[in-house]
Every structure is written in C-alpha cells, then in structure tokens.
A = this chain, B = another copy of it.
C-alpha cells in the first residue's frame, strides 16, 4: 500500500520535490491541497498519512502560521529536509523575454525574484497566483500567450514549457526548510536528536536567559528561536525553539524540569536532524503504529 502524503500545491511543485527528496524509493500517493490548513485537516480526518509543509525560508524566516497550525491541530514534526530553491521563468514554446507582458506566480516566489522583476517592469505586469506549478500548468492548458510563470525547473519539464531565464531569485543560495508532520509515531525514536518546543514566559528580566542557560548546562544546543506576543496577555511571550541534543534520556529529564520553569511547555516534535537531506525512514507500517 502507498504512503499518502498531503502537500500544499500540485504535482511538481516545490512541496512535491521535498516529498521526492524525503521518500525517493517509496510508493507515495500525493494528496494536493489548496492551503496549509487543508494539509493539516487531511491529517486530522485520516485522509492522509503524513503532510509535508514549508516551515522557514531565507526570505521570510520562520513561517509562523505553520508553527501555529502544528500547535493548534496537535500534530507532531516527524522529520525535516532542506531544498535549494532555484526559480525559472517559463512560457509557451516560441516566446521570448520580450514577448512577455504578464508574469504569474505564488506571492512568495514573486518576492524571491523581486529584483529581477523590477528590471522587467513597468512593461510587464506581475500577478499573484495560487502556487508556482499551478500557474505554469494554466499557461500550458489554456495556451496563454505573452504570459510567463515563475516556478522550478521541474515544472517546465513536466508541462513542456520553454525556459526563458534561470536562477532569477535575488538570493542565490535560497533555501527552504520543510518538515514532515503527522500523528505521533514511535518510529526511529532511538535516532532522534532534534526537537521543536513551544513555551510561554513572563517578561521578568532574565527569564529567557535562565531557560537557555539550563539547556546549555546540559549540552542542549539552540538552533533557532522566535518570540511572539501572546494575544490578550500583555508582557507575556510565546517562544518557538529548535534544539539539538545528544543524550535522549537527559533531554527527557531536562524537558521535565523545564516544564516547571516555564508555562505551557509543549514538544511539537522530536526527530532526526537532516542537514544532508537523507531519505526519511518513516514508512506506512510504522506511521500507522503496526
């Protein structure tokens, strides 16, 4: 049986690439969703086994709404992978950069190519669309002349579009981190060395310093932190942090202690750090706890 994975966007989108990088040798059935909310929904109603969502990128930093989604839907981060995002300008065969008067793509893709697009304007209109791959598909299916899409190379190949320009994103080393989300599983528990935590603190001087000091005393290493104010609670902050640890037992003990020092500690997931983008070890049997 196949592993059903929900993504935002359609086949050949960057989310699909992340799935292929994570599950290269598995029988995967992609469940395309129109929003991150629907990805989470498909996990809650068991129509998907796993979801893959972008969680931070070079331009925007953390994608806070996706952290909040994982938190509010009580999902877990089970794995991670990183994609280098290279943007291509593509259109129907026979078009050139000079015959284009509209460029369509996802708002984030447009933002990532802002400097390039500024050089094309004003003769060229920039229009925000659904997602990178869908805009390209629409150009092909409707034979839209004078219209280009910005998407990954694989999208041009998939839909037989002509590449007009490559690597057009402003930041050349443009990376996005994707996480696999789902219901908790006991799979690969022994290999886990990274965790995403959420907790709340008042603004007492030094409270965050004390928390980080506690972690550092036990060799638990911060790789990411973001604070944000709590709605309706002035001077109270929530934090999302990512940490690396070596000793699982020690990490569990420190987490127990930490729970007494902060408010509403929640482990949003423990997983294996995956800087070299190795295939995921998650598979259908284990995800289902069989």
Contacts and interface: CB of A to CB of B under 8 A. Distances in A.
- Please report whether the interface of chain A is mostly helix, strand, loop or mixed according to DSSP: mixed
A46 to B, nearest CB: 21
Nearest to A206: B216
Query: How many copies are assembled?
Result: 2
Interface stretch (A13-21, A158-166, A220-228): A220-228
Contacts of A226: 61-62, 225-227
A128 B107 contact: yes
A189 interface: no
Interface in A147-177: 171, 173, 175
Contacts of A228: 56, 61-62
Contact of A219 (B37, B62, B205): B205
B65 A62 contact: no
Interface string A215-239: 1110111111111110110100101
A250 interface: no
Interface string A237-272: 101000000000000000000000000000000000
A226 B208 CA distance: 13
Interface residues of A, number: 43
Contacts of A61: 62, 64, 226, 228
Interface string A60-99: 1110110000000000000000000000000000000000
A24 to B, nearest CB: 24
Nearest to A61: B64
Contacts of A223: 203, 237
A186 interface: no
Interface of A: 37, 56, 58-62, 64-65, 107, 111, 114, 128, 171, 173, 175, 203, 205-206, 208-209, 212-213, 215-217, 219-229, 231-232, 234, 237, 239, 275
* List of 5 A-B pairs having minimum Cβ-Cβ separation, nearest first: A206-B216, A209-B212, A61-B64, A128-B128, A209-B213
